[in-house]
Homo-oligomer: A and B are copies of this chain.
């Protein structure tokens, strides 16, 4: 089998990197598809140079043109939808239905088209015209963006098709993509669609470039390079922090979406009124997609009372009886089992699961752990380590003050849920808990699970560190997500004919 080509400088060509990797079928562990190259600095240098040359051509193009590209791309993807979904299923073991075909693929198209619409309207750029002082400003493209995608959404967060990609293009920036090595075949199919789209709308063929993998030190070198203007990353905390540090030191915008355990606080009324329905809802959210969501509910804080033990038993049974699905990669499985071991070593009780699933190759047993509030609070750094996958940790409290103390001990999170009724007891606890929780989460949710990140202009898929690097930005939610990949440009005393069109009087 020939090693797959990278897409650099507007051409599919062999990588200069000599090393390769292959994708694996998560269900069987078998190698699938071609070898893919691990790019070296020669590839990166070419990508950087080409992106910066392209940028000089496209940077002043109208939003309409970037909209046209995004729409042409969505149409190209639509033409090959079944093939893409099938390949993604092969590489990730995420189910075709309902997940890939029913939800993630349509979402991907919708995001690209929403970004196109925003690029066309131009409102994201927030033009401000002060005629009296003849000072004008707006957000405009920033330059080549490096987008690094995660393992868990082969379509909707893929570096070549996801939210960061769509936002960076809508802002008018050339993009260099590093796809995730867990699904290179899916990425390649989409890149082929994108190359067609570039041609169809007369874009420079090097507006987008793709590599499949690169050694971390060369990726960081590219991030420090002056030809990269901004970085978008979704993935692990370890990688995200290294990327953020490199970009921060070079003084360039970096948007990293990292770990989050998405605490769910359960107030007494919920267990009294709808214990079983809540158990079902929680189990569904936690085990869906083998729990491999940024917003997976990894921590559940329960009130004291007779209902609590019953609810735990209910959920434990549901976890034990639900079939566990394969995880995305061997690495995800190993990391999940390690994380579970750490929680157990720290003193968490294993209620069910905790080991590799024997019947399915790449799966871990659905795992439920439990710890009491005193123990959690005594070592909250340990107990809030993310265990990415089909696993959750229950914390049993003996009074509402402990709930507040747990909220207080949490690092920044993407989401925080509170399940409660309108009963005065619940409302009183909420009033105490909410101010503490509010500042620690990007999205505060009532009576709904955190999985399911609606594509809405009001969405915040972001949050305080270490969930992301800055609590003022969201990765989902157009137009705000677009502004991340822009700079504020001000024009002072510049005559009409030298202004961007959006800043002219006429």
Contact = CB atoms under 8 A, between A and B. Distances in A.
A488 to B, nearest CB: 5
A265 interface: no
Contacts of A229: 439
Contacts of A139: 472
A460 B490 contact: yes
A133 B490 contact: no
Contacts of A60: 435
Contact of A445 (B56, B458, B493): B493
Interface of A: 56, 59-60, 128-130, 133, 135-137, 139, 142-143, 229, 244-245, 248-253, 412, 415, 430, 434-435, 438-439, 442-448, 454, 456-460, 462, 464-466, 469-474, 477, 480, 483-484, 486-495, 498
B252 A465 contact: yes
A471 B253 contact: yes
Nearest to A132: B456
A60 B434 CA distance: 11
Copies of the chain in the assembly: 2
A251 B466 CA distance: 7
A494 B130 contact: no
Given A459-B135, A487-B472, A444 B248 contact: no
A411 to B, nearest CB: 9
Among A133, A139, A495, find the residue whose CB has the most chain B CB atoms closer than 10 A: A133
Contacts of A447: 493
A444 B492 contact: yes
Q: Which 8 A-B pairs have the closest CB atoms?
A: A251-B465, A460-B490, A471-B487, A130-B458, A248-B248, A443-B490, A128-B458, A135-B458
A491 B447 CA distance: 12
A470 B137 contact: no
A458 B129 contact: yes
A488 B465 contact: no
B251 A412 contact: yes
Contacts of A477: 137
A464 B487 contact: yes
A232 B244 CA distance: 20
A466 B250 CA distance: 9
Given A252-B465, A446-B494, A459-B490, 10 more contacts: A133-B456, A135-B456, A137-B477, A142-B471, A248-B248, A253-B470, A434-B498, A443-B491, A444-B494, A460-B489
5 contacts: A251-B465, A253-B470, A253-B471, A446-B495, A447-B493
A278 to B, nearest CB: 14
Contact of A448 (B142, B248, B493): B493
B248 A244 contact: yes
B488 A460 contact: yes
A137 B136 CA distance: 27
Nearest to A135: B458
A454 B135 contact: yes
A465 B487 CA distance: 11
Nearest to A459: B135
A137 B477 CA distance: 10
A229 B465 CA distance: 11
B249 A245 contact: yes
Nearest to A462: B488
